[in-house]
């Protein structure tokens, strides 16, 4: 097994929470239902993010002899990238007395529905 570097190019705005050290996942979108992309398979781990630029995401992955598995073959579908945080590094929650959140839909032509919002509060000593 060898660790190899690869990149994924993009031409859209990235989530600002993406950081070096996050885990990059890929899912094959097989259909669209009511405006939502649907996949029947779980996300597959691509690797660990090593570089973020204005045009691509660099990541490292472990090769098992056949290289990256063709970036997940999608017969007629498209690929959806997502990322996850390393819980050993990002284990704490927000701290402070006040928080303000705004949810925006960048697509003015299509309605979007927010399924769920979660919040966690913990009392602590001052």
pLDDT at residue 70, as a whole number: 47
Structure tokens at 107: 């697509």
Helix ranges (H only) for the chain are none
Say if 112 falls within a structural domain.
Answer: no
Say if 122 falls within a structural domain.
Answer: no
Q: What is the pTM of this model?
A: 0.59
Structure tokens at 103: 């949810």
pLDDT at residue 106, as a whole number: 80
Say if 119 falls within a structural domain.
Answer: no
The alpha carbon of 46 is separated from its chain's Cα centroid by a whole number of angstroms, namely 11
pLDDT at residue 46, as a whole number: 81
pLDDT at residue 80, as a whole number: 80
Say if 93 falls within a structural domain.
Answer: no
User: Contact, 19 vs 49, CB < 8 A?
Assistant: yes
pLDDT at residue 77, as a whole number: 64
Say if 48 falls within a structural domain.
Answer: yes
Residue 54, domain extent: 2-84
d(CA 80, CA 27) in angstroms, rounded, equals 5
**Digitized pLDDT (tens) for each residue of the chain, 126 residues in all:** 566 777 777 778 888 888 899 998 888 877 778 878 778 778 888 888 999 888 888 888 765 555 554 455 666 567 788 888 887 766 666 566 666 788 888 887 888 888 888 877 766 665
pLDDT at residue 81, as a whole number: 82
Say if 39 falls within a structural domain.
Answer: yes
Say if 12 falls within a structural domain.
Answer: yes
d(CA 96, CA 126) in angstroms, rounded, equals 11
3-state secondary structure of 23: strand
Say if 103 falls within a structural domain.
Answer: no
* CA triple 27-32-38, angle to 5 deg: 35
What is the number of domains present in the chain? Answer: 1
d(CA 36, CA 101) in angstroms, rounded, equals 24
DSSP string, 59-118: EEEEE-SS-S-TTS--SS-EEEEEEE--TTTS-----SS--------S-TTS--------
pLDDT at residue 101, as a whole number: 80
């Amino acid at each position: 097994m060898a660790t190899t570097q690869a990149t994924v190019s993009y031409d859209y705005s990235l989530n600002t929470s993406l950081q070096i050290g996050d885990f990059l996942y890929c899912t094959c979108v097989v259909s669209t239902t009511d405006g939502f992309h649907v996949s029947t398979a779980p996300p597959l781990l691509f690797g660990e993010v090593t570089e973020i630029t204005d045009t691509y995401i660099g990541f490292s992955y472990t090769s098992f002899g056949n290289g990256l598995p063709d970036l997940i073959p999608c017969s007629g579908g498209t690929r959806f990238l997502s990322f996850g945080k390393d819980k050993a590094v990002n284990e704490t929650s927000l701290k402070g007395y006040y928080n303000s959140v705004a949810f925006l839909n960048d697509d003015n032509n299509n309605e979007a529905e927010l399924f769920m919002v979660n919040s966690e509060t913990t009392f602590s000593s001052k």
